[in-house]
Amino acid sequence: MTPGPSSPPAAHAASPERHRAPALWLVVTAIVTAALAARWFGSGTGARVLALALLVAAVARTVGRGRRPEGIAVRSTWVDVLLLVSMGGAIAVLSFSPGV
């Protein structure tokens, strides 16, 4: 068994790096908003808010190339956009379908 380092590197001790992902927090806020909208106004409204959040995230992912926006950039840009648009579109279609 190898022992771990006894003290952190000097660079980390002097200024700890804070990881911020505002896009991730906006998506989390949108999900909470969708859940509250579903509770107060019905499941259809909650689903529409969730679909809108996914579609806005897809637009943000398209505009922010590379690893931007942090928090929602997971795979390559086009794979992320395709998944977000597919999920948002499917939820939107189902939320507007009668009897679903």
Domain coordinates in residue numbering, the chain: 21-96
- pLDDT at position 74 is 78
Q: How far apart are CA 33 and CA 70, in angstroms?
A: 21
Q: How many C-beta atoms surround the C-beta of residue 77 within 10 A? A: 16
**In the chain, % of residues over pLDDT 90:** 34
Q: Report how far apart, in Å, the C-alpha atoms of 86 and of each of 14, 15, 20, 51, 94 are.
A: 45, 41, 27, 10, 12
Contacts of residue 10, Cβ cutoff 8 Å, sequence gap at least 6: none
pLDDT greater than 90 at residue 87: yes
Residue type, 3: P
Q: pLDDT digit string (tens) for 6-44?
A: 655 555 555 555 667 777 788 889 889 999 999 999 989
Q: What is the mean pLDDT of residues 59-73?
A: 77
The whole-number pLDDT of residue 82 equals 93
pLDDT at residue number 16: 56
